[in-house]
Amino acid sequence: MKGRSISPVALVLVALALVPLLTASNVVLNFLVQMLLVALVAQGWNVLGGYGGQYSFGHAAFFGTGAYVSAILQMRYGVNAWVAFALGVAGGAVVGAAIGALTFRSGLRGSYFALVTLAFAEVFRILASVAPITGAGVGILVTLDLRPQAFQFQSRAPFYWIILALVATSIMIVQMIGRSRFGAWLVAVRESEDAAKAVGINPARVKLAAMTISAAMTAAGGAFYLQYFLFIDSGIAYGPWISIEALLAPIVGGVGTVCGPLLGALVVKTLGEVTKHVVGDAPGLDLVIYGGVLIVIVAFAPNGISGLLSHLRLHIMRLRSSAAERSHG
Amino acid sequence: MAEPLLRVERVSKGFGGLIALDDVSLAVEAGRISALIGPNGAGKTTLFSVISGFLAPSAGRVLHNGIDITGQQPYLLARRGIARTFQIVQPFAGLTVHENIAIGAHRTRRSRGQALDAAADVARTLGLADVLDRPAASLTLALRKRLEVARALASDPELLLLDEVLAGLNPSEVGAMLPVIRAIIDAGVSILMTEHVMQAVLSLADHVFVLAEGRMVAEGVPRDVVGNPQVVECYLGRGAAARLAASGVGHG
């Protein structure tokens, strides 16, 4: 099962890498960049939520920190954009570790953990909307400088390949976690903290490590967003929209699976785009669709699309074997 | 005298007004099966939770090889080599039997492959080899109890705390479990078990502690303990020993 799951993912990634060679359409590339951005942020959420069972409602806190740290370093301190990107990721990891230390030390689990992460994201959003260093209500605009060394490009293709490489890296990291002792500990903590403790696992420490990795991945998404759109404000960086997409994509695609976030991001983003074309650009309509999708998935496919697919594969195998039996008889 | 593997020294534990453990002491010697018995509500599980670090005692000390481990976190005790099972089984329900046991084996093995190999070995010892790839959630209670023991054993403990691993099993399942427990002691792991099933305790244990209403009322080899009038009374009610003796059914 685990051995087989790598090759289809690798194939999909290679196929995706070829897309800019086949089309120069900005609409297509723009759609795919945004889809992959969600896939990256969602993979971050998946490390903590899918493997660790800690459902965060506030991954915007890490996305926004990645974006703001990078923006502030570039625009206020003249730091190179690539360096600022890396420091943005590190900043997200630090915030993840800090929030993790506070929440897991005090033993918050389940819906309490979800609510506290949501509260942290909201506090960051409000602070960013008033503090001068974050540009308060105006936000931060990155000066246009279309040179690769400034992490800005004339066309969308380089951005596309960068975000694709980030997604591929995140998938590799998750795959490595899944095959490591740390991954086994993380899943054990998700399934039963008491039983995990009884075999020598320190749940708080395992969850803290997962949250740090998770936050770093999501912060990379935020820092990438900044380079792609060259603008952030508090509502974009720390807004609930990104927290929702971060958890919706893995839940739709399959929590705790390697390719669930990518699959979910594709489905969710496609649905959002189709709705826009069919109904027109009514604000908030995508959220209505997301809500509907979430209800359907939770009610009928708790293991997401990945779960449905493996269920289907089993079903087909069973049909085949029973057909074979009949032809023999 | 050499320091015992585990020593409980004058431990008390109260929950509000209820005194669950009152000045309890015991010593577990290495290489033996020690059993903790007593009627429902005697405080057996509370004492287990205190020993394994899930509860802190109100008073008293717990020593492991002479080192004070009172109130240490369960995962630290597990790393010292004190593993436990749960009376209400706690499998990692979403994982397979193999993965469950491997998580125990990971305590001393970093590599996933080594942990899985060790887990398969333990599964063979405990008669779980046929169900390795089944989800833990799909097992019968008897197999889940075995899985509890397997996971704890895979963590290479020095002392294994078995909390009612026979409770809820039918007689043939109990019969199948006894050699499993003997195999563990033969492998050099010491055992402290709590148990309801008296017959099993008598045939397994080298040393028995009897807890009643939070107090240690007797200890010794199984044969002596069951004949002890105090023990008979705490199971059957006051005066029972005398009535039994009078009617001639006592152990005499």
d(CA A190, CA A148): 42
- 8 A C-beta contact, residue A114 and residue A49: no
Whether residues B54 and A194 touch (CB distance < 8 A) is answered with yes
Domain boundaries, chain B: 6-220
Residue A187 pLDDT class (50, 70, 90 cuts): very high
Domains along chain A?
6-328 (1.10.3470.10)
By Cβ distance, the residue of A184, A191, A202 closest to B75 is A202
Under CATH, what is the fold of the domain B6-220? Rossmann fold (3.40.50)
Pick the more confident residue, A75 or A9: A75
Is the model's pLDDT at B250 over the cut of 50?
Answer: no
Q: Is A200 on the interface with B (CB under 8 A)?
A: yes
Whole-number pLDDT of residue A6: 53
* pLDDT (mean) for A166-172: 96
- 8 A C-beta contact, residue B2 and residue B12: no
- 8 A C-beta contact, residue A49 and residue A62: no
- Chains A and B form CB pairs within 8 A to the count of 81
Is the model's pLDDT at A82 over the cut of 90?
Answer: yes
* pLDDT (mean) for B177-202: 88
Residue A169 pLDDT class (50, 70, 90 cuts): very high
Residue A328 pLDDT class (50, 70, 90 cuts): low
Residue A313 pLDDT class (50, 70, 90 cuts): confident
Q: Could you read off the pLDDT of B115-125 as tens digits, one per residue?
A: 999 999 999 98
Q: Is A187 on the interface with B (CB under 8 A)?
A: yes
Q: Could you read off the pLDDT of A224-249 as tens digits, one per residue?
A: 999 999 999 999 999 999 999 999 99
Question: Per the structure block, which two tokens stand in for B18?
Answer: 């209820």
Angle between helices A304-328 and A260-279 (to 10 degrees): 110
* pLDDT (mean) for B228-250: 76
Residue B227 pLDDT class (50, 70, 90 cuts): confident
Q: Return the exposure string of B11-25: e unless at least 16 CB atoms fall within 10 Å of the residue's CB, then b.
A: bbbeeeeebbbbebe
Q: Residue B169 contacts by C-beta under 8 Å, 6 or more apart in sequence?
A: B141, B142, B145, B177
Q: Give, in degrees to the nearest 5, the angle at Cα A36 between A32 and A38.
A: 120
d(CA B189, CA B202): 19
d(CA B38, CA B9): 19
C-alpha A269, offset from chain centre: 13
* pLDDT (mean) for B210-220: 92
Mean per-residue pLDDT over chain A, rounded: 91
Mutation for testing the A interface, residue in B54, B75, B159, B163 having most A CBs under 10 Å: B75
Whole-number pLDDT of residue B1: 57
Q: Is A197 on the interface with B (CB under 8 A)?
A: yes
By Cβ distance, the residue of A181, A194, A197 closest to B106 is A181
- 8 A C-beta contact, residue B109 and residue B115: yes
Residue owning tokens 């935020």: A222
* pLDDT (mean) for A188-207: 95
Whole-number pLDDT of residue B107: 93
Is the model's pLDDT at A5 over the cut of 60?
Answer: no
A18 burial level (CB within 10 Å; 0-12, 13-18, 19+) = exposed
Q: Which of residues 147-186 of A touch B (CB under 8 A)?
A: 179-181, 184-185
Kindly list the distances between the CA atom of residue A64 and the CA atoms of A19, A142, A163, A319, in Å, as whole numbers in the listed order. Answer: 29, 15, 17, 49
Which residues of chain B lie closer than 8 angstroms to A203, CB-CB? 75
Q: Give counts: helices (H), strands (E), chain A.
A: 14, 2
ipTM for the predicted complex comes to 0.88
Minimum CA–CA partner of A182 in chain B? B110
* pLDDT (mean) for B221-228: 87
Whether residues B111 and A179 touch (CB distance < 8 A) is answered with no
- Say which range, A21-30, A186-195, A199-208, A271-280, has the weakest mean pLDDT: A271-280
Is the model's pLDDT at B251 over the cut of 70?
Answer: no
Q: Is A194 on the interface with B (CB under 8 A)?
A: yes
Is the model's pLDDT at A314 over the cut of 90?
Answer: no
Which residues of chain B lie closer than 8 angstroms to A179, CB-CB? 112
Residue A197 pLDDT class (50, 70, 90 cuts): very high
